[in-house]
């Protein structure tokens, strides 16, 4: 029985769709389950050495064993924890080439009577600070390698209005804006920054929504589809892109309309 058949995916086995990441080192946050887990497995299949980061130590260690990698407990809302994660990876593998900043949580409150400061801070800390802090921490390591790839997990909620969870929409829109802005800003350093924006995809975040999704006949996107898209982004050459993933459609970069420029004075 191969490692893949037993559920383990040693990084020298089963390269995914011809994508080779041999010799590359990847950090994946929120990797103990859902989209992070699937992405860690996909990166390992493509040949990358993977450091699995999560607050869920049991799940994280299980995934690390599956990819023949290392686990590191990390609260992504803590800047020093992000720095320590990068240092840990450098100590184990000598550098970092890829960072998937995937950790995220549901908001659990709104802005009216149900507003809860603790829940708000937790959501913003994981979903936005985790991307900003992770980027800040990993940039020196990527520069030391001559460049690299950062992929942030946003959401379709970062591309559309989310009346039922405006705070989640706010932090995911922020990640989209960061990707669009940092992509061209970091390009001269050969560092690519992109975002992946899945709809309702297989993860813990959608657990409270499963009944509603089933009643409305809305399919849940397999985590592996998101992971395959992450691989495409890492293996590509685009930057500043926000790839949407929606059931029944081929994932691709979202085409933002250009913001209108200032009107020319009449007669000019």
Instruction: Lay out the sheet containing 49-54: strands in order across.
Output: 70-73, 49-54, 25-29, 98-101, 148-153, 191-198, 242-245, 252-253
- Angle, helices 34-45 vs 223-235, to 10°: value is 50
Quote the CA–CA distance of 72 and 55 in Å, as a whole number: 8
168 is catalytic: yes
> Which one is catalytic: 88, 93, 133, 168?
168
Distance CA 80, CA 84 (A): 6
Q: Which of 254, 217, 210, 206 is nearest to 35 (CA)?
A: 206
Nearest alpha-carbon partner for 10 in 55, 50, 37: 50
CB 98 within 8 A of CB 48: yes
Cα gap 237→6, rounded to integer Å: 34
Residue pair 67/41 in contact (Cβ under 8 Å)? The answer is yes
Instruction: Catalogue the active-site residues.
Output: 168
């Amino acid at each position: 029985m191969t490692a893949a058949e037993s559920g383990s995916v040693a990084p020298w086995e089963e390269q995914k769709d011809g994508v080779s990441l041999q010799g590359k080192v990847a950090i994946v946050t929120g990797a103990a389950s859902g989209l992070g887990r699937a992405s860690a497995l996909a990166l390992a299949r493509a040949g990358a050495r993977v450091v699995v980061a999560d607050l869920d130590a049991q799940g994280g260690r299980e995934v690390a064993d599956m990819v023949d990698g290392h686990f590191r407990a990390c609260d992504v809302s803590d800047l020093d924890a992000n720095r320590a994660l990068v240092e840990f990876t450098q100590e184990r593998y000598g550098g970092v080439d890829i960072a998937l900043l995937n950790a995220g949580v549901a908001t659990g409150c709104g802005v009216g009577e149900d507003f809860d400061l603790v829940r708000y801070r937790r959501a913003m800390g994981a979903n936005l600070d985790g991307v900003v802090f992770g980027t800040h921490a990993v940039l020196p390591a990527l520069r030391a390698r001559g460049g690299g790839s950062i992929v942030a997990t946003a959401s379709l909620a970062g591309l559309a209005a989310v009346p039922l969870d405006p705070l989640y929409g706010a932090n995911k829109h922020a990640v989209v804006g960061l990707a669009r802005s940092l992509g061209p800003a970091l390009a001269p350093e050969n560092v690519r920054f992109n975002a992946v924006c899945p709809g309702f995809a297989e993860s813990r975040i959608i657990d409270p929504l499963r009944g509603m999704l089933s009643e409305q006949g809305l399919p849940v996107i397999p985590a592996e589809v998101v992971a395959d898209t992450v691989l495409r982004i890492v293996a590509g050459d685009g930057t500043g892109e926000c790839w949407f993933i929606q059931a029944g459609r081929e994932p691709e970069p979202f085409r933002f309309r250009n913001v209108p420029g200032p009107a020319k004075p009449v007669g000019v």
